[in-house]
Amino acid sequence: MNSLIIEGSPKTPNINFDGDEGSFLISGRSIPENSLDFYKPIIEWLDTYISEPKESTIVNIRLEYFNTSSSKCLLDVFKKLEVIFKRGQKVGINWYYEADDEDMLEAGEDYQSIIKIPFTMIEEEE
């Protein structure tokens, strides 16, 4: 399985999805005006991945900011992975937030309340 790598910009995140390792990273900022355009290839890549996933898939989310337009797209990413989790594959989401950034912690908890995949909230020093 190929990897998906998209370099970040001032408004879009770094994407590093390693299909061979089942290790996915979204980091930086996700504040584009039209998130649907940005996330479309990511969702398409995931469609292929979930047809033949690794035994274990770990998603690391290290976002500094994301806008509400991106929040729905992130949910779509998690929903794709929830499909393989429900099939019995091991999937985990590590949600990183800076110490004192309660908004980012709460954002992770929002997803945790909707998605069945286990979340690990990881506080990092600023």
Partner 1 sequence: MNFDLNQWYSEKIDEDAIFDYMGRIEDEDVTDILQSIEQILKDRNEPPKLFKKVFNVLVELVQNLHHHGEVPSDLDVSYEKFGVLILRDEGNQYRICAGNFIKIDGLRLIRDRIDQINTLSSTETQSLYRIILGNDQFSEKGGGGLGMVDIARKSGNNMEYQFFQYNPNFLFLAIDVII
CA distance 66 to 56: 27
Helix (H) or strand (E) holding 122: strand 119-124
The nearest distance, CB 78 to partner 1, in angstroms, is 11
**Parallel, antiparallel, or unpaired: how do β-strands 56-66 and 90-98 relate?**
parallel
By CB under 8 A, tell whether 106 contacts partner 1. yes
By CB under 8 A, tell whether 55 contacts partner 1. no
By CB under 8 A, tell whether 43 contacts partner 1. no
The nearest distance, CB 17 to partner 1, in angstroms, is 22
If the CB atoms of residues 18 and 76 are measured against partner 1, the closer one turns out to be 76
- Listed ranges 19-27, 51-59, 61-69, 83-91: which one lies at the site for partner 1 (CB under 8 A): 61-69
One-letter identity of residue 105: L
Question: In the β-sheet with 119-124, what is the strand arrangement from edge to edge?
Answer: 4-6, 14-18, 23-30, 56-66, 90-98, 119-124
Compute the C-alpha angle 99/38/118, nearest 5°: 45
User: What is the footprint of partner 1 within residues 4-33 (CB under 8 A)?
Assistant: 10-11, 31, 33
Give residues in contact with partner 1 (CB under 8 A).
10-11, 31, 33-36, 64-65, 67-69, 71-73, 75, 98, 100-104, 106, 110, 113-114, 126
